[in-house]
Amino acid sequence: MEAFVAGKRQLPSGSVLVTFDDGDPSVRTVAVPILQKYAVPSVAYILAGRPTGFDLMSFSQIREIQAAGVSIGSHTVSHRSLGSLSRAEAMAELVDSRRRLEDEMGTAVHSFAYPFGTAKDMTPQVIDCVGEAGYTTGFSSLHGAIRADTARQPYALPRVKVESGDPQWLFPALCAGAMDRWRLVDDMLTNLQKPAESQLQKTAA
Ligand SMILES: [Zn+2]
């Protein structure tokens, strides 16, 4: 995966990497047996802190899923939008979470997923910090498959987003790109926000 993003390796069309954000206990109890059965590569993006409102695996459970073949990435310490923080605060979230996870897991952590993952959570300053903190890949929540051209932006990788309440019939459609056009809407909203943020907020309110 990282070699593909770096442009050093081709992958067959339709290749899949399954990712999970936060560290919900169902990753261990529900997903891991299926991932193992079908030998599907996966990454769990873990919250290194214990923010309120999340039901999270313990570090020993996270070591269990790592031993079962799931790679571990960082999803910050506190699950705040990095776009809303100062540069120093964003760096602390990125560096502290990586160190904590590396200490707990005993392996290097190179990959990151942005909390919320919309365009405003991954501003150019934030993306710069992700690189400076030593990560080689950053996953957003923008809809889309990773193609050879998107792979040239290793810190703004799109994903096919599947929510916990999505019905099963929707899943094949999502994988076929049914929601990819929402990426364009995300981009449009971001562009609108730049010159006319106050106006847009008025409209939204
Ligand atoms: Zn999250």
Q: What does 91-122 look like in DSSP terms, one character per residue? A: HHHHHHHHHHHHHHHSS---EEE-SS-SGGGS
pTM reported for the whole predicted model: 0.86
- Rounded Cα–Cα distance for residues 87 and 92 (Å): 9
Q: What's the 128 CA to ligand 1 centre distance in angstroms? A: 20
Mean pLDDT, range 28-55, rounded to an integer = 97
Nearest of 42, 17, 46, 23 to residue 32 by alpha carbon: 42
Count of the separate structural domains present in the chain: 1
Q: What's the 83 CA to ligand 1 centre distance in angstroms? A: 14
Chain-centroid distance of CA 40 in Å reads 17
Which CATH number does the domain housing residue 199 bear?
3.20.20.370
pLDDT per residue as tens digits for the range 143-201: 888 888 776 789 999 999 888 888 999 888 888 887 776 656 666 666 665 544 444 44
Q: What's the 44 CA to ligand 1 centre distance in angstroms? A: 11
Those residues whose beta carbon sits under 5 angstroms from the ion ligand 1 are: 21-22, 115
pLDDT at 204: 43
For the chain, how big is the Rg over CA atoms in Å? 17
Chain-centroid distance of CA 107 in Å reads 19
pLDDT per residue as tens digits for the range 115-142: 999 999 999 999 999 999 999 999 999 9
Domain limits for position 62 = 2-204
- Rounded Cα–Cα distance for residues 41 and 81 (Å): 27
Nearest of 146, 145, 77, 147 to residue 112 by alpha carbon: 77
Residue keyed to tokens 């996270």: 62
Q: Exposed/middle/buried for 205, CB within 10 Å: 0-12, 13-18, 19+?
A: exposed
Q: What's the 114 CA to ligand 1 centre distance in angstroms? A: 7
Cβ proximity of 22 and 54 under 8 Å? yes
Q: What's the 79 CA to ligand 1 centre distance in angstroms? A: 6
pLDDT at 187: 63
Q: What's the 60 CA to ligand 1 centre distance in angstroms? A: 20
Q: What's the 81 CA to ligand 1 centre distance in angstroms? A: 10
Look at 77-86, 105-114, 154-163 and tell me which has the smallest mean pLDDT: 154-163
